[in-house]
């Protein structure tokens, strides 16, 4: 993309400091970077962000997740345990618009970098603070990870076979990404407010809150009727039947979802048994939920008599909501993923390895986001930033490096 096109991105001219680790708050910075912000990833000089070691390593040493999620960022090393590091950090804050952090509560304060200090340096600063439990409340000091947030926020309890062991709800990092999304919304709101009033603020995001917010009527139903939602395994939920996963003859799985009676009528047609959707049999959601075992059995038998491809073809022909349970190999072979360009390949310059990563979403028509480069090497941009942004000379930089401040 040309320099001119980049300048037109919505966040061109916005500078973000990402001093956070792993995925939650850093993913907010990733999105801001995709849409034009300059993101400075501030890392400890030894080892850097733990995300560099999370998951599968590459030839360069950094892991795949790092290369993907640190896309577009510039790496600047700085030891915040040292007074000189703190002083440089404050200079960076004075030159920036947004700060993303996810230390345990009180950590930045301990280093003399709490909100009250930072806002004096830069009254327009927007600070995203992500923790497991938030900055306030009785559990604020507890360590929090996405797995714990899935449990605490009420999601894990709802995944698994009835009364069986609750399972991971698909991925152990959902809560991290979702909190990155909420954080990003908060930052964009705060940026807008700042541009109207000049006032900065902080966004206080808790991993568990992102999970809990996505539980539709779970809370009101308990509040009003005392309904405790349970896990139901694979094939229905509290409101819809059939709604779940069914094995096909070739040992694969399909998902079918009939949220309304109309959709069940389409499924009945796909199964060549339109009579099932008559009001005297299973035409009403209420009846289907009451007889869910029988209904699921009928769908299971039908799916089991056909290959995955055959089931899907018949469902699509009648516009029944259905899909394969894709594994990643299925995804790499799928036309829709290709047509939407959901996978992009980039080379690691140092090793020549080609890495495939998920492309930018959401898709904007006039100002599409972009991936300029993969996650940087540790400290790759330290000199550039200290020299060009903070005006330090080569001698000063060399001295900081010899003292391991950077």
Interacting residues with another protein between 282 and 341 (CB under 8 A)? 316, 319-332, 335-337, 339-340
Nearest approach, Cβ of residue 41 and another protein (Å): 15
Task: Among 44, 107, 255, 274, indicate the residue that binds another protein (CB under 8 A).
Answer: 255
Task: Among 289, 298, 306, 389, indicate the residue that binds another protein (CB under 8 A).
Answer: 389
Nearest approach, Cβ of residue 106 and another protein (Å): 13
Nearer to another protein, 272 or 365 (CB): 365
Nearer to another protein, 294 or 384 (CB): 384
The residues, ordered by sequence, that sit 6+ positions from 126 with a Cβ below 8 Å of its Cβ are 97, 98, 99, 187, 190, 191, 194, 200, 201, 202, 203
Dihedral in degrees, nearest 10, Cα atoms 180, 146, 143, 41: -40
Of the listed pieces 276-284, 287-295, 381-389, 395-403, which binds another protein according to CB under 8 A?
A: 381-389
Nearest approach, Cβ of residue 321 and another protein (Å): 5
Nearest approach, Cβ of residue 394 and another protein (Å): 17
Of the listed pieces 41-49, 163-171, 269-277, 291-299, which binds another protein according to CB under 8 A?
A: 163-171
Host H or E run for residue 195 = helix 174-197
Residue 5: φ, ψ to 5°? -65, -40
Site membership for another protein, residue 165 (CB under 8 A):
yes
Nearer to another protein, 280 or 366 (CB): 366
Q: Rounded distance, CA 73 to CA 18, Å?
A: 9
End-to-end CA distance of the chain: 32
Task: Among 26, 45, 99, 152, indicate the residue that binds another protein (CB under 8 A).
Answer: 152
And the tokens for 366? 């006039």
Of the listed pieces 126-134, 271-279, 290-298, 394-402, which binds another protein according to CB under 8 A?
A: 126-134
Burial of 274 (0-12, 13-18, 19+ CB in 10 A): middle
Dihedral in degrees, nearest 10, Cα atoms 315, 316, 321, 324: 80
Residue count at the site for another protein (CB under 8 A)? 175
Residues 171-210 that bind another protein (CB under 8 A): 171-174, 177-178, 181-186, 188-193, 196-197, 199-206, 208-210
Of the listed pieces 215-223, 268-276, 287-295, 393-401, which binds another protein according to CB under 8 A?
A: 215-223
The residues, ordered by sequence, that sit 6+ positions from 43 with a Cβ below 8 Å of its Cβ are 49, 75, 76, 77, 78, 378, 379
Candidate list 62, 97, 176, 204, residue with the active-site label: 176
Nearest approach, Cβ of residue 306 and another protein (Å): 17
∠ CA 226-232-238 to the nearest 5 degrees? 50
Q: Rounded distance, CA 94 to CA 406, Å?
A: 19
Nearer to another protein, 45 or 183 (CB): 183
Nearest approach, Cβ of residue 166 and another protein (Å): 5
Nearest approach, Cβ of residue 386 and another protein (Å): 10
Task: Among 44, 82, 107, 158, indicate the residue that binds another protein (CB under 8 A).
Answer: 158
Residue pair 79/405 in contact (Cβ under 8 Å)? The answer is: yes
> 302 vs 160, 161, 251, 341, CA distance in Å?
24, 22, 14, 34
Nearest approach, Cβ of residue 281 and another protein (Å): 21
Q: Rounded distance, CA 155 to CA 170, Å?
A: 11
Of the listed pieces 109-117, 270-278, 291-299, 394-402, which binds another protein according to CB under 8 A?
A: 109-117
Residues 14-73 that bind another protein (CB under 8 A): 23, 31, 35, 38, 50, 54-56, 58, 63-65, 67-69
97 classed as catalytic: no
Task: Among 73, 77, 133, 406, indicate the residue that binds another protein (CB under 8 A).
Answer: 133
Q: Find residue 129's DSSP bridge partners.
A: 101, 204
Of the listed pieces 270-278, 287-295, 303-311, 357-365, which binds another protein according to CB under 8 A?
A: 357-365
Residue pair 190/201 in contact (Cβ under 8 Å)? The answer is: yes
Task: Among 1, 5, 7, 8, indicate the residue that binds another protein (CB under 8 A).
Answer: 8
Residue pair 208/149 in contact (Cβ under 8 Å)? The answer is: yes
And the tokens for 326? 């894709």
> 344 vs 54, 56, 374, CA distance in Å?
21, 18, 11
Active site amino acids: 176
């Amino acid at each position: 993309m040309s320099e001119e096109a980049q300048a037109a991105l919505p966040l061109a001219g916005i500078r973000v400091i990402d001093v956070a680790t792993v995925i939650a708050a850093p993913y907010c910075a990733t999105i801001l970077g995709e849409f034009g912000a300059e993101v400075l990833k501030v890392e400890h000089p030894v080892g850097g962000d733990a995300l560099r070691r999370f998951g599968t390593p590459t030839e360069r040493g950094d892991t795949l997740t790092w290369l993907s999620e640190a896309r577009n960022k510039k790496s600047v090393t700085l030891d915040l345990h040292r007074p000189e590091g703190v002083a440089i950090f404050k200079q960076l804050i004075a030159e920036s618009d947004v700060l993303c952090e996810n230390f345990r509560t009180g950590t930045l304060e301990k280093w003399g970098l709490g909100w009250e200090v930072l806002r004096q340096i830069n009254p327009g600063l927007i600070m995203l603070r992500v923790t497991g439990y938030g900055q306030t409340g009785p559990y604020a000091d507890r360590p929090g990870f996405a797995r714990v947030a899935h449990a605490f926020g009420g999601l894990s309890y709802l995944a698994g076979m009835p009364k069986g062991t609750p399972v991971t709800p698909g991925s152990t990092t959902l809560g991290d990404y979702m909190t990155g999304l909420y954080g990003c919304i908060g930052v964009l709101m705060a940026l807008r407010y700042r541009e109207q009033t000049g006032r900065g603020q902080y966004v206080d995001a808790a991993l568990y809150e992102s999970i809990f917010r996505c539980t539709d009527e779970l809370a009101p139903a308990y509040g009003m009727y005392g309904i405790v939602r349970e896990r139901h395994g694979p094939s229905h939920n509290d409101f819809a039947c059939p709604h779940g996963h069914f094995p096909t003859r070739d040992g694969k799985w399909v998902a079918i979802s009939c949220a309304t009676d109309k959709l069940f009528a389409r499924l009945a047609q796909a199964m060549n048994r339109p009579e099932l959707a008559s009001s005297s049999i299973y035409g009403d959601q209420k009846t289907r939920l009451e007889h869910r075992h029988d209904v699921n059995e009928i769908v299971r038998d039908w799916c089991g008599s056909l290959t995955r491809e055959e089931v899907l073809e018949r469902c699509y022909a009648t516009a029944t909501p259905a899909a394969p349970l894709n594994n990643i190999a299925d995804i790499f072979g799928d036309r829709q993923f290709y047509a939407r360009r959901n996978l992009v390949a980039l080379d690691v310059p140092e090793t020549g390895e080609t890495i495939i990563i998920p492309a930018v979403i959401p898709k904007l028509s006039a100002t599409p986001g972009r991936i300029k480069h993969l996650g940087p090497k540790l400290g790759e941009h330290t000199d550039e930033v200290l020299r060009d942004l903070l005006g330090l000379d080569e001698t000063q930089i060399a001295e900081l490096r010899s003292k391991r401040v950077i």
